[in-house]
Chains A and B, each alone.
Chain A
């Protein structure tokens, strides 16, 4: 019964993906798993490496957590490189010792190729591969003016973007006559070059560097073979990758002529107990330098180790779609038209900087490949034609013409076969999505959670939505966004109708745009919209019948018909005097008292008729309503921050109080919670809130769309190092855009996941003002802030509104007979139902 040992060398993206697959498979119980990583960090997302410069931390980029490894009984040895493999004795040796294995997986990845140029070992020459590399580049850039990237490929342009974001004047030096020579042709490369130069990156093509020497005006000088030179403060080499096959070579496994560990379709090397996956593996004379094929190898190998005789890696699609320095670039299949007889269709708009090329088969029926620069909206459709061998339409050129010139609409989801790959990161096909729908998933969020589709790079989001909508429709599931039988509109559409037509009552809205008399779905929804648009008192005569009971009586109904009361305690800061008042009021009315998770105090057991009296007392002591009953801002939690804490770098309590006072009373599609932490230790748990703010040395990092509750979600980092003013303006926009466009009872997380384009789209709208509505959103918020009133203060001062708080209108003294009480842990609580 003793277990076998599986050793994995390398803890990169592919190695980690393999472990995820393997840990979830039956064979996991048969093996002790040991992982060796050369880097000190856990596997992280190298694809998004440059985000490290725009504020992401290792934790943001990490693929898994140490806990995940512990939970799955995987022993992780980071910073412990494997030195040798003894194939006969089946052991590996590290500086710390010798470990026996039964099966060995090489996931060693690749290393950056540094051209053999004299002077390339200068201390200001770098490669662009690991977080350590990036730290070194950042340090060197801190007192530099210019930076050069050697290599104009995909990763080189990423690196150029990184140098630019570090504030350097960035240059790209490419040996070939054009940028991205692997993916693009001459015209495409020229268009890309134009766009990138517009952004301030200098491009030098057909330049071979012969030597790197000391500079005169900068640290270094690069001498080129044509006699010219370029001065720069630092150099980043990004001239391609080479498979990391040293261990394999030294242990005499079969390797390729130009490197790479030779594997068969089962990802097994020339030794049956040693396997290789990812960029270190050479399959069919090919190295795959993208993450998706590596993942496919990882899945194949996991299946092989589970005894699946059919599992085989049979090559992978190398199509890519990316945004480089903000410019769309796409390359599909046989982009260079190398297939015999292939013909081309080209569209080139030099004015707009758009280039598109289709490579079609000699009979013109199939799409073999394509190149896109400037606009990737054509990518998904073209990729599906190419991957699935779908017959091209009569006038195939329409697929790359602008829509205004008769371009064809996107390929309908219906036309795709079940085998069509929708999400290549997680290998989800249209058939998988249909399966999830048949198993009961009925919305985009559910399908994402179930299949993982669109949770990798997110590039397939729009396509996924099309497939899901079309399949739901086919199954007769109404994808109608109508909120209920009374209004044939979504919440967002209703909001628009109310706002644009200046509608101020439910009655007007339903008579003009709906039918019937409304219900408990549409009435509170419209009540909330009216509150957001006009900010009238929710107990104004026209609005009373729209509110849920909690809003009507401005307290939270409990199971026996009594209410709980939560006064606002902004930021969780309260004076002793106010705290004493809470105690006195609770004592006088015998209210059960509990501290909430949002740093407030909840008082339970008040009857309807007691509410106004209690609030009179609370208001006299300076309290305001806490809106715990509303779909609105609840609390802004905070840690104590720089005022007291020896780690705090900003005044988090002050900011929390400011935010809470600014957004209190804002009516939203669902409750909204916020938190402000004074440093990265994150004691306020801001990353579990709709709006989370974390102090940095330079200002504030903003996180959005997190929540706790039934389906917890970590908030996403939205933007970093904001000043106070920038922070508030950004939150204004995010919140107002949410309030205007979310569905009823949709938390910010689900709202954002369902936005076409997700987080990136939200960033475009809020940070780049892509819809041109930024100023309007801010103005709207400013108006709401200016018209805030404490609903309870207004209510207790108005005898008409107070009339609503009579338990029985004809028997003011009558106590509700079902409200029976007992005592537990020295406090009053309801007698639980006996009948």
Chain B
């Protein structure tokens, strides 16, 4: 399994915005990377695509925690998504794709599935 994935550098530490998200383009489509400096771990990566609207906007949502769970709120229709599991708190049948993320020196790496996936909006 390990051999079939790879850790791509998607951005540098200085690109991150504390307590907020940025969007990066990967071979698996657009991904939102969040940096929550007051948590451990502090980095989260989930799909940038809002499943309710199909728009690529989740990195622009407000982050926070609800009952301790780190979340981002969709900037369009305000649903909350867990940054750990990708599950939508308002509708558990909806789940964002999540990506392992790590800090390598001052580079941010994402684990992207090696099998090329065609990304489909929504």
Contact = CB atoms under 8 A, between A and B. Distances in A.
Interface of A: 485-486, 516-520, 522-524, 541, 544-550, 552-553, 557, 559-561, 608, 803-804, 806-811, 814, 816-818, 833, 835
A818 B121 CA distance: 7
Closest 3 CB pairs of A and B: A545-B19, A519-B64, A561-B55
A486 B66 CA distance: 9
A803 B11 CA distance: 13
Contacts of A519: 62, 64-66, 71, 73
A549 B10 CA distance: 23
A312 to B, nearest CB: 53
Contacts of B10: 810
Contacts of A550: 75
B122 A835 contact: yes
B60 A557 contact: yes
B56 A552 contact: no
B67 to A, nearest CB: 7
Contacts of B63: 517, 545
B67 A485 contact: yes
Interface of B: 10-11, 15, 17-20, 22-25, 30, 36, 38-39, 49, 53-57, 60-68, 70-71, 73, 75-76, 78, 80, 119-122
B54 A818 contact: yes
Contacts of B75: 548-550, 557
Given A520-B62, A520-B64, A560-B54, 8 more contacts: A517-B64, A519-B66, A520-B73, A520-B78, A545-B17, A807-B23, A809-B24, A818-B54
Contacts of A518: 64-65
B24 A835 contact: no
16 contacts: A519-B62, A520-B64, A520-B78, A522-B64, A546-B62, A549-B60, A560-B54, A807-B23, A808-B24, A809-B15, A810-B10, A810-B24, A810-B25, A818-B56, A818-B121, A833-B54
Q: Is the interface of A mostly helix, strand, loop or mixed?
A: loop
A277 B61 CA distance: 62
A324 B35 CA distance: 63
Interface centre among A545, A608, A833 (most CB of B within 10 A): A545
A835 B49 CA distance: 14
A835 B62 contact: no
A814 B71 CA distance: 27
Nearest to B77: A559
Contacts of B23: 807-809
A547 B60 CA distance: 10
Contacts of A559: 53, 55, 76
Given A519-B71, A561-B55, A809-B24, A833 B122 contact: yes
Contacts of A835: 54, 120-122
B43 to A, nearest CB: 14
Contacts of B66: 485, 519
Nearest to A523: B62
B18 A545 contact: yes
A545 B20 contact: yes
A560 B25 CA distance: 18
Nearest to B24: A810
B121 A817 contact: yes
Contacts of B61: 520, 549
Nearest to A549: B75
A799 to B, nearest CB: 12
Contacts of B65: 516-519
A522 B64 CA distance: 10
Given A545-B20, A808-B24, A808-B25, A553 B60 contact: yes
A517 to B, nearest CB: 5
Contacts of A818: 49, 54-56, 121
A191 to B, nearest CB: 58
Contacts of A485: 66-67
A545 B61 CA distance: 9
A816 B49 CA distance: 11
A544 B122 contact: no
A806 B23 CA distance: 8
A620 B30 CA distance: 34
A171 to B, nearest CB: 64
Nearest to B8: A810
A809 B121 CA distance: 20
A622 to B, nearest CB: 29
Given A808-B23, A810-B24, A541 B30 contact: no
B122 to A, nearest CB: 5
Contact of A561 (B17, B56, B67, B73): B56
B17 to A, nearest CB: 6
Contacts of B38: 517
A553 B67 CA distance: 28
B108 to A, nearest CB: 9
Contact of A524 (B11, B62, B67): B62
Contacts of A811: 24-25
A808 B39 contact: no
Contacts of B56: 561, 816, 818
Given A485-B66, A809-B22, A814-B25, A561 B57 contact: yes
B11 A810 contact: yes
A549 B54 contact: no
Nearest to B121: A818
A517 B11 contact: no
A545 B35 CA distance: 11
A544 B56 CA distance: 20
